[in-house]
């Protein structure tokens, strides 16, 4: 334990170095870049397994360090090794490894192959960093970096405007949630004085949560905002289906198995903060998302979009599991879902690859004969996702959630929503399988489809095996997974499977799943025999409702009309404020100054200058007039003097008299 | 018979009047100067008369004034004549109304 | 002595280069670049010799200059000043490299850039108001000519507006300081920052003249607010930045815009603590407006340079938010002052990092303009990533650094500012949060419109970064990563100064 914690940082660092090297490699070094990425993720996987092995024997170890100082304290960071992180690390590394290998085949013809592996490695590094982070800040940083990797990979085919737009949308929408997360994190930091999860063997979140209930709930909900954005919960789910613009391995890795589950992992990490009030919100958001997304999936025709909505819906289940059942319930579904959803996406990728980049399920059909391995593994994935009983992992994890919801003290409505979601899941997955693999080929491409190379099918087989097996680690009879997370040990007890708490729920969900599969199979099994252009049977039955669902309940349109338009209007307003109001004010001041200057100039010119001129002119004129007296005639002067003398004399004489 | 003060004064007034008339009316600069001399002498006559008939004839005050006055008049006449000659040489005339170089 | 040498080295070099014959354009340019490199080396020496242990002034030089008026030649740097000197010394060679190819009288251009550098160094090291003000104005004049002579088509009005607007602020500031000088009693008259702060701390600066104190405070505030700029005094900036030649825009945003924030920390903070507290709420509101409004306005721009200019205002808004938030009367509780320290450290980090990031962004936009034949509209391009992947990758890094992506240099500063501000001024901080979103929105829009989508055929021959250009941005890019991962490099220098500032507040 002590030795592994010393080297834990290597888990994310290895792929990070591979990413850095990949970024610097020239475009033609395709094999080197891929080799580096796969080698690095293999190292991460082996280290994760070692770490996992270590956690089987002892509880938790941390290693903290100072990042930087401020004031009289410093920002601490570190990594933690505990069952929650270890299981996640193993899952992430394993799925990443398989998908990296798969990508070798899938992306073989892409000219930016080198860059692709660089981005994938960057993603793996950030995701693994997030998993082992022992501080909410480090968690947030890695969280943003996985967002960056997701942005880069969604927009990987940047020549397509739709891909570039989807990438931007994904980044912006998740950032809306992240801002809530940031505020919550900072609030928590101020309140707790630290953002470490564990320090000196003690949990740091519990004391913070023990403070005011209202503040704690607010912090928890703000952090949950981040999870809502990243995990595509209502109302921030809109980016995830658009993210399918990225290459299929990316959809499988980032937008199905790992990154979108980071939101769930986040809630699991900060579970001590989650007050009952916050958990209620989590449960309700999860329940609404689960049913909402599942119902949209029913009416979609793009193979990846169906899976995307399914992912949104399943993330809703995980949230419900966290809210109603606790960490173990949510995390168990996260783990099983990661494997079978990665399997489904890779299977879809194989189908798309085989059908020459065709994604519309209405143009497929009959592929079971042409892509046998893909069909077999896809069927396993589909049954796992639908929750076909006993042999498929999805059944056990979903059942745990439904069971938790059934015993939830809040309300029974999420339980019924969960059941409805289970039915819808079975329905749309059966629809998809019928459309894609059964019936007969609808187009020429589907007729000439070919099976993918082994580099793609082998990961499918491994994932299919995992999709079956992982479920057995968390059955009610042998709840090893739950015990592992809680740090206890689990015994095998078959009777727990049969008690009156578990059995009714299990039977009910099984019945609903069966109903979904049978009904959907009945509708689409017949429909897939008909020509391609024909409308969906549901559309024939309920055209208005179907259109509404097909348009995803107009949520995107609603956002375009409100949020996007408001933002644009606000931006225009600010620009107008700058140009017209403030700029105008400056211009007005400028104009005022100019007007004053003109006034001053005119006063100068017409009053001061002119007045001066007139004054001097007058003085000159007067002088000229006076100077005429002085005519140089001395005798005249004398006469004047004489006259003046006489005058004075007269004045004197008369004045005296 | 000794003349009275009034007779002296009348004589001096006449003399002054003649001098003034000469100074004002004559055109020839020399004659203007002569007029001036006459006026000065009229003043001198007054000094003598007032002294002679004044309260202290023994103090010779009037005589002193007149002596000064005559000396100054002599200087003035010399200067005036010199000026007149200079102007004459320059302008070839001694007519006063032709001189207007003092005109402003 | 090192500070004097550092300050006057570019000035002397600039004069000498300006005196060179008109046929020695290239020599002048090379000499100027060499001089800026020497200045950078000196700044690095300064940094290496700087003692992180205490927060007071170091490398102090104090000689009397005009003793009868209290004017002294007083130089010194603390952590804040040191980082600003380093930043200026870094930005100037970078900006010179960006202007390497100008054809119209490069000798004059480069010597003006050196004058500007001298003005920056003087401003960041002077400890006496008159001395400080001299350099503050000295930096303005070369900037005016740089815009006026080498700018874009509307350079005349932009340069005049820039100069007059800034000048009006400076005049207000000078008048305020003279009023302050005249109003204090003869015994304590001074222009020395430290002395003024000490007098103010003892309550002796404006014994009873509260109206006068407010007027003086507002005068200085105006001068600084125009320089930073604080909304609503920012309208000169987009025009000036977008008309300025690339290298000058880099100098303006990278180094000169820091002078205003520096003034807030060096003058208003220590000398006018009471007024800062009294005016805190309206100032916080303005800071929030400075963050949100320009970010939103940037989103509505069609011109890349104007977008980047608006983003520059937005980023300096975070600095002001941090300062105003921290200007809160503390009850000497440890947590409280730690939040203040967080905010102020964040401000200093943000100043430094914004200088790097924004000048890099201007550099890239300038390259786009140069390659696009004077086109720089958002909609003029598309798909350039296909033709120039390295260009796009490096500019993408700069853009992400600007939007505060963790791991790059923008994040630690913003994190600390918001950490402090959320606690000390929750409402203003929450109002500012949408600014972060708008920033992401318009920066990603640049990436989307310019680099993504199909490549128009007219740009198919778009050249990628040349080796020289790569070498030019390499140091800055490296710093972005290094400072993003090891912010201790900056906080280690800044924190003692911040603690000192808090002690005197």
Cβ proximity of C17 and C31 under 8 Å: yes
**How far apart are alpha carbons C212 and C184 in whole angstroms?**
11
Instruction: Flag whether C454 is in a domain.
Output: yes
Q: Do B24 and A629 touch (CB under 8 A)?
A: no
Read off the pLDDT band of B55 (50, 70, 90): confident
Instruction: List all chains that touch chain C, counting a touch as 3 or more CB pairs closer than 8 Å.
Output: A
| pLDDT at site A211 | 65
Q: Does A575 touch chain C (CB under 8 A)?
A: yes
Separation in Å, CA of A39 to nearest CA in chain C? 24
**How far apart are alpha carbons A185 and A286 in whole angstroms?**
22
Strands (E), A192-341: 198-199, 202-203
User: Which residues 172-201 on chain A approach chain C with CB closer than 8 angstroms?
Assistant: 172, 175-176, 179, 182-183, 186-187, 189-190, 193
Q: Do A148 and C345 touch (CB under 8 A)?
A: no
Separation in Å, CA of A636 to nearest CA in chain B? 8
The position carrying tokens 């429909």 is A527
Q: Do B99 and A632 touch (CB under 8 A)?
A: yes
Side-chain-facing half-sphere of A293: CA atoms under 13 Å: 31
Instruction: List all chains that touch chain A, counting a touch as 3 or more CB pairs closer than 8 Å.
Output: B, C
| pLDDT reading at A509 higher than 80 | yes
When comparing pLDDT for A598 and A203, which is higher?
A598
CB pairs under 8 A between A and B: 33
Q: Does A563 touch chain C (CB under 8 A)?
A: no
For A179, the closest of C296, C298, C433 (CB atoms) is C433
Q: Do A72 and C341 touch (CB under 8 A)?
A: yes
Q: Does B20 touch chain A (CB under 8 A)?
A: yes
| Domain assignment of residue C373, given as a range | 279-505
Q: Do A577 and C165 touch (CB under 8 A)?
A: no
Nearest CA in chain C to A139: C406
CA-nearest of C270, C470, C479, C487 to C356 is C479
Q: Does B43 touch chain A (CB under 8 A)?
A: no
| pLDDT at site A131 | 92
| pLDDT at site C164 | 87
**How far apart are alpha carbons C167 and C172 in whole angstroms?**
9
- Chain mean position to CA A482: 28
Instruction: Flag whether C184 is in a domain.
Output: no
For C300, the closest of A71, A72, A574 (CB atoms) is A574
% of residues, chain B, pLDDT over 70 = 97
What total number of domains does chain C contain?
Answer: 1
Nearest CA in chain A to C481: A20
Instruction: Flag whether C495 is in a domain.
Output: yes
List, in sequence order, the alpha helices (H) in C300-425: 304-326, 334-371, 384-387, 389-402, 410-424
Nearest CA in chain B to A624: B104
Separation in Å, CA of B1 to nearest CA in chain A? 33
| pLDDT at site A657 | 56
Q: Does A448 touch chain B (CB under 8 A)?
A: no
| pLDDT reading at B13 higher than 80 | yes
| pLDDT reading at B101 higher than 80 | no
Q: Does B32 touch chain A (CB under 8 A)?
A: yes
Q: Which residues of A touch B30 (CB under 8 A)?
A: none
- With 0-12 / 13-18 / 19 or more C-beta atoms within 10 angstroms meaning exposed / middle / buried, residue A579 is middle
Cβ proximity of A152 and A119 under 8 Å: yes
Cβ count within 10 A of residue A500: 6
Tens-digit pLDDT profile for residues B66-94:
999 999 999 988 998 998 888 888 888 88
| pLDDT at site C64 | 84
| pLDDT at site A13 | 92
| pLDDT reading at A434 higher than 80 | yes
Instruction: Flag whether C323 is in a domain.
Output: yes
| pLDDT reading at A234 higher than 90 | no
Secondary structure (DSSP) of C252-301: IIIIIHHHHHHHIIIIIHHH-HHHHHHTHHHHHHHHHHHHHHHHHHHHT-
Cβ proximity of A37 and A117 under 8 Å: yes
Instruction: Flag whether C23 is in a domain.
Output: no
Tens-digit pLDDT profile for residues A528-548:
566 655 667 777 777 788 787
Q: Kindly report the three-state secondary structure assignment for every residue of A391-412.
A: CCHHHHHHHHHHHHHHCCCCCC
**Reported ipTM:** 0.92
| pLDDT at site A19 | 92
| pLDDT at site A533 | 57
Q: Structurally, what CATH architecture does the domain formed by B5-98 represent?
A: Orthogonal Bundle (1.10)
Say if C and A touch: at least 3 Cβ pairs within 8 Å.
Answer: yes
Say if A and B touch: at least 3 Cβ pairs within 8 Å.
Answer: yes
Q: Which whole number is the average pLDDT over A594-618?
A: 92
- Beta bridge partner(s), residue A409: none
Q: Do A575 and C301 touch (CB under 8 A)?
A: yes
% of residues, chain A, pLDDT over 90 = 29
Instruction: Flag whether C432 is in a domain.
Output: yes
Instruction: Flag whether C423 is in a domain.
Output: yes
Tokens representing A328?
């173990």
* Peptide linkage before A593 cis (omega within 30 of 0): no
For B97, the closest of A629, A630, A635 (CB atoms) is A635
Separation in Å, CA of A642 to nearest CA in chain B? 9
Q: How far is CA A594 from CA A589, A598, C170, in A?
A: 8, 6, 20
Read off the pLDDT band of A527 (50, 70, 90): low
Read off the pLDDT band of A399 (50, 70, 90): confident
Separation in Å, CA of C76 to nearest CA in chain A? 23
| pLDDT reading at A172 higher than 80 | yes
The values of phi and psi at residue C66, to 5°, are -125, 80
pLDDT in tens, chain C (505 residues): 888 999 999 999 999 998 888 888 888 899 999 999 999 999 999 999 998 888 788 888 888 888 888 788 889 999 999 999 999 999 999 999 998 888 888 889 999 999 999 999 999 999 988 889 999 998 899 999 999 999 888 888 888 888 888 898 999 999 998 888 887 777 777 888 888 888 887 776 776 677 888 888 999 999 999 998 888 888 889 889 988 999 999 999 999 999 999 999 998 888 888 888 889 999 999 999 999 999 999 988 888 999 999 999 999 999 999 999 988 876 666 667 888 889 999 999 999 999 999 999 999 999 998 888 878 888 888 888 888 888 999 999 999 999 889 989 999 999 999 999 988 888 999 999 999 999 999 899 998 888 888 888 888 888 888 888 999 999 999 999 999 999 999 999 999 888 888 887 7
Domain coordinates of chain B in residue numbers? 5-98
Q: Do A632 and B101 touch (CB under 8 A)?
A: yes
Read off the pLDDT band of B11 (50, 70, 90): very high
Separation in Å, CA of A27 to nearest CA in chain C? 10
- Residues 6+ away with beta carbon under 8 Å from A286: A233, A315, A316, A317, A318, A319, A320, A321, A322, A323, A414
Say if C and B touch: at least 3 Cβ pairs within 8 Å.
Answer: no
Taking every pair of Cα atoms in chain C, the longest distance, rounded to a whole number of angstroms, is 75
- Chain mean position to CA A336: 22
Instruction: Flag whether C438 is in a domain.
Output: yes
Q: Do A578 and C412 touch (CB under 8 A)?
A: no
Q: Do C486 and A182 touch (CB under 8 A)?
A: no
């Amino acid at each position: 334990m002590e030795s592994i914690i010393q080297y834990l940082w290597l888990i994310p660092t290895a792929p990070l170095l591979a990413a850095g090297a990949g970024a610097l490699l020239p475009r033609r070094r395709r094999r080197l870049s891929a080799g580096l990425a796969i080698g690095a993720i293999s190292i991460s996987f082996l280290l994760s397994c070692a770490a996992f092995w270590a956690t089987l024997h002892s509880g938790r170890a941390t290693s903290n360090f100072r990042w930087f100082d401020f004031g009289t304290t410093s920002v601490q960071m570190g990594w933690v090794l505990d069952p929650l992180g270890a299981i996640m690390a193993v899952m992430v590394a394993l799925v990443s490894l398989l998908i990296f290998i798969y990508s070798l085949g899938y992306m073989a013809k892409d000219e930016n192959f080198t860059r692709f592996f660089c981005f994938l490695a960057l993603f793996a590094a950030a995701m693994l960093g997030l998993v082992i982070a022992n501080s909410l800040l480090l968690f947030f940083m890695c969280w943003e970096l996985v967002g960056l990797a997701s942005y880069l990979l969604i927009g990987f085919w940047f020549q397509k405007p739709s891909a570039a737009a989807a990438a931007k949308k994904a980044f912006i929408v998740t950032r809306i949630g992240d801002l809530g997360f940031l505020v919550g994190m900072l609030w928590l930091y101020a309140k707790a004085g630290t953002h470490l999860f564990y320090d000196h063997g003690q949990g740091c979140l519990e004391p913070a949560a023990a403070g005011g209930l209202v503040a704690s709930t607010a912090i928890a909900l703000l952090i949950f905002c981040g999870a809502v954005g990243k995990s595509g919960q209502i109302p921030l789910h809109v980016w995830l289906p658009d993210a399918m613009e990225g290459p299929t391995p990316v959809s499988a890795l980032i937008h199905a198995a790992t990154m979108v589950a980071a939101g769930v992992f986040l809630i699991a990490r900060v579970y001590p903060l989650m007050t009952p009030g916050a958990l209620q919100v989590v449960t309700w958001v999860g329940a609404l998302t689960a049913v909402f997304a599942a119902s949209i999936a029913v009416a979609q025709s793009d193979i990846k979009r169906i899976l995307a909505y399914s992912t949104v819906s399943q993330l809703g289940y995980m949230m419900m599991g966290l809210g109603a059942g606790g960490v173990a319930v949510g995390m168990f579904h996260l783990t099983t879902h990661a494997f079978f959803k990665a399997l489904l996406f890779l299977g879809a990728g194989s189908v798309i690859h085989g059908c020459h980049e065709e994604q519309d399920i209405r143009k497929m059909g009959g592929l079971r004969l042409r892509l046998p391995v893909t069909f077999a593994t896809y069927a396993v994935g589909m049954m796992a996702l639908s929750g076909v009983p006993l042999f498929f992992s999805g059944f056990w994890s979903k059942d745990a959630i439904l069971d938790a919801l059934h015993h939830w003290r809040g309300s029974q409505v999420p339980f019924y929503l969960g059941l409805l979601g289970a039915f819808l899941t079975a329905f749309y997955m059966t629809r998809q399988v019928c459309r894609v693999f059964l019936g007969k080929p609808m187009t020429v491409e589907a007729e000439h489809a070919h099976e993918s190379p082994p580099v793609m099918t082998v990961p499918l087989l491994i994932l299919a095996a995992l999709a079956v097996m992982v479920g057995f680690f968390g059955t009610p009879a042998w709840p090893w997974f739950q015990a592992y997370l809680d740090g206890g040990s689990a015994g095998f007890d078959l009777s727990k499977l049969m008690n009156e708490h578990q059995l009714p729920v299990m039977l009910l969900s099984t019945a609903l799943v069966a109903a979904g599969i049978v009904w959907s199979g009945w509708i689409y099994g017949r429909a897939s025999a008909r020509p391609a252009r024909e409308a969906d049977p549901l559309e024939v039955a309920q055209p208005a409702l179907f259109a509404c669902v097909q348009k995803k309940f107009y949520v995107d349109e609603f956002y375009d009309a409100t949020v996007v338009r408001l933002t644009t209007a606000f931006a225009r307003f600010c620009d107008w404020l700058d140009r017209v109001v403030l700029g105008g004010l400056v211009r007005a001041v400028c104009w005022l100054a100019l007007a004053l200057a003109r006034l001053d100039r005119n006063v100068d010119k017409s009053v001061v200058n002119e007045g001066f001129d007139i004054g001097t002119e007058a003085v000159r004129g007067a002088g000229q007039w006076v100077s005429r007296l002085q005519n140089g005639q001395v005798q005249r002067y004398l006469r004047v003097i004489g006259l003046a003398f006489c005058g004075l004399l007269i004045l004197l004489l008369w004045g005296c008299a | 018979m000794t003349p009275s003060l009034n007779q002296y004064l009348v004589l001096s007034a006449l003399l002054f009047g003649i001098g003034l008339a000469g100074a004002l009316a004559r055109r020839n600069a020399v004659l203007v100067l002569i007029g001036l001399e006459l006026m000065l002498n009229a003043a001198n006559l007054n000094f003598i008369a007032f002294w002679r008939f004044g309260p202290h004839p023994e103090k010779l005050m009037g005589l002193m004034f007149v002596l000064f006055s005559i000396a100054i008049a002599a200087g003035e006449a010399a200067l005036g004549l010199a000026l007149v000659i200079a102007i004459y040489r320059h302008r070839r005339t001694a007519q006063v109304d032709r001189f207007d170089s003092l005109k402003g | 002595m090192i500070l004097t040498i550092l300050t006057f080295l570019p000035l002397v070099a600039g004069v000498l280069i300006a005196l060179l014959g008109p046929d020695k354009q290239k020599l002048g340019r090379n000499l100027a670049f060499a001089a800026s490199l020497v200045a950078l080396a000196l700044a690095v020496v300064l940094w290496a010799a700087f003692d992180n242990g205490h927060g007071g002034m170091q490398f102090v030089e104090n000689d009397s200059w005009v003793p009868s008026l209290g004017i002294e030649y007083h130089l010194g740097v603390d952590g804040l000043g040191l980082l600003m000197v380093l930043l200026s010394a870094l930005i100037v060679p970078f900006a010179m490299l960006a202007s390497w190819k100008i054809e119209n009288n490069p000798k004059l251009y480069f010597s003006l850039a050196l004058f500007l550098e001298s003005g920056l160094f003087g401003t960041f090291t002077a400890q006496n108001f008159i001395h400080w003000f001299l350099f503050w104005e000295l930096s303005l004049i070369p900037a005016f000519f740089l815009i006026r002579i080498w700018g874009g088509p509307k350079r005349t009005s932009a340069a005049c507006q820039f100069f007059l607007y800034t000048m009006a602020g400076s005049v207000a500031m000078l008048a305020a300081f003279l009023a302050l000088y005249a109003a204090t009693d003869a015994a304590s008259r001074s222009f020395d920052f430290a002395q003024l702060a000490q007098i103010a701390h003892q309550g002796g600066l404006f014994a009873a003249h509260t109206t006068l104190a407010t007027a003086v405070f507002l005068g200085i505030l105006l001068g600084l607010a125009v320089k930073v700029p604080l909304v609503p005094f920012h309208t000169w900036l987009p025009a000036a930045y977008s008309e300025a030649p690339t290298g000058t825009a880099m100098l303006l945003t990278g180094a000169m815009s820091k002078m205003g924030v520096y003034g807030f920390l060096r003058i208003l903070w220590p000398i006018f603590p009471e007024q800062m507290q009294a005016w805190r709420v309206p100032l916080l509101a303005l800071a929030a407006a400075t963050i949100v409004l320009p970010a939103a306005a940037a989103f509505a721009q069609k011109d890349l340079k104007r977008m980047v200019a608006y983003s520059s205002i937005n980023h300096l808004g975070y600095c002001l938010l941090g300062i105003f938030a921290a200007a809160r009367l503390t009850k000497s509780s440890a947590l409280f002052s730690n939040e203040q320290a967080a905010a102020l450290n964040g401000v200093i980090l943000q100043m430094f990092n914004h200088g790097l990031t924004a000048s890099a962004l201007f550099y890239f936009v300038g390259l786009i303009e140069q390659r696009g034949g004077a086109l720089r509209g958002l909609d003029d391009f598309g798909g350039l990533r296909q033709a120039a992947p390295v260009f796009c990758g490096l500019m993408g890094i700069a853009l992400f650094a600007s939007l505060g992506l963790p791991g790059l240099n923008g994040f630690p500063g913003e994190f600390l500012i918001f950490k402090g501000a959320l606690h000390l001024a929750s409402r203003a901080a929450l109002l500012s949060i949408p600014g972060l979103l708008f920033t992401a929105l318009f920066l990603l829009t640049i990436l989307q419109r310019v680099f993504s989508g199909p490549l128009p055929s007219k740009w198919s021959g778009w050249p990628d970064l040349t080796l020289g250009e790569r070498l030019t941005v390499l140091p800055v890019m490296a710093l972005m990563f290094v400072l993003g991962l090891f912010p201790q490099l900056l906080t280690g220098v800044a924190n003692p100064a911040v603690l000192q500032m808090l002690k005197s507040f």
